[in-house]
């Protein structure tokens, strides 16, 4: 993985989104405190897309990571939120607004031998009948949160289930619930 300098706009947005995330894993906020943080790219972004009942999540089947949320590397000139929307469309054909509050922030390696990358997981709610047009050679499908799936990050299913419960509680709380703008 190459070392890239992260643009200041992207770094500021990443810190703001990370602070707003519902869950922080891997001591991710400490990543920003390191002097070399701005030199360690790329940033990563993904989208946890739930159905309105919050019983299924939209995943893509990556050739060696298994079932993972749509996402990828943040391109130069993008924020993680912008990259998440782009990756969701490229990998599934779905265009939708992301909820205002990110689901999670992590620091993890996306491949053996790669350095750890700061990743943000954004949220969206989409009808399961929305047509999917996945990238060539990569399946996109709705998987149930109740049954395990093969993944490079097996802890993600549990994290997504916790988030789905939180989303349901927010929706039950009333009009100020989860439908925040992008």
- Output the pLDDT for position 4: 52
State the alpha helices, DSSP H only, in 24-154.
Answer: 28-33, 80-92
pLDDT tens per residue, range 117-129: 899 999 999 999 9
| Residue 16: pLDDT over 90 | yes
Q: Do 159 and 143 touch, CB atoms closer than 8 A?
A: no
Give the three-class secondary structure for 176: coil
- Output the pLDDT for position 31: 84
- Output the pLDDT for position 41: 62
Write the DSSP symbol of residue 38: G
Predicted confidence band at 3 (pLDDT cuts at 50, 70, 90)? very low
Q: Which tops the pLDDT comparison, 28 or 109? A: 28
pLDDT tens per residue, range 139-177: 999 999 999 999 988 899 999 999 999 999 988 886 654
**Cα angle value 137/138/143 (rounded, 5°):** 150
Average pLDDT over residues 7-22: 92
- Output the pLDDT for position 178: 46
Predicted confidence band at 32 (pLDDT cuts at 50, 70, 90)? confident
Residue 173's Cβ-count burial label (10 Å; 0-12, 13-18, 19+) is exposed
Superfamily of domain 8-172: Nucleoside Triphosphate Pyrophosphohydrolase (3.90.79.10)
pLDDT tens per residue, range 101-115: 999 999 988 777 777
Q: Where in the chain are the domains?
A: 8-172
Which two tokens mark 35?
Answer: 């002097």
Distance CA 85, CA 12 (A): 18
- Residues 6+ positions from 116 with CB-CB distance below 8 Å: 26, 31, 107, 108, 109
Element (H, E) at 12: helix 8-20
Distance CA 119, CA 18 (A): 9
pLDDT tens per residue, range 64-118: 889 999 999 999 889 999 999 999 999 999 999 999 999 999 998 877 777 778 9
């Amino acid at each position: 993985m190459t070392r890239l300098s992260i643009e200041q706009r992207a770094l500021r947005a990443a810190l703001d989104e990370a602070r707003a995330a519902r869950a922080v894993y891997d001591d991710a906020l400490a990543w920003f405190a390191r002097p070399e943080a701005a030199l360690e790219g790329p940033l990563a972004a993904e989208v946890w897309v739930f159905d309105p009942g919050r019983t299924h999540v939209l995943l893509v089947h990556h050739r060696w990571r298994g079932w993972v949320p749509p996402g990828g590397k943040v391109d130069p000139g993008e924020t993680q939120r912008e990259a998440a929307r782009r990756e969701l469309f490229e990998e599934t054909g779905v265009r939708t607004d992301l909820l205002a509050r990110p689901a999670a922030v992590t620091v993890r390696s996306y491949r053996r031998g790669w350095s750890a990358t700061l990743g943000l997981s954004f949220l969206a709610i989409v009808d399961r009948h929305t047509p999917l047009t996945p990238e060539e050679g990569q399946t996109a499908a709705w998987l149930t949160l109740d049954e395990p799936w093969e993944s490079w990050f097996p802890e993600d299913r549990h994290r997504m289930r916790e988030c789905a419960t939180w989303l349901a509680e927010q929706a039950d709380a009333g009009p100020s619930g989860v439908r925040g703008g992008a």
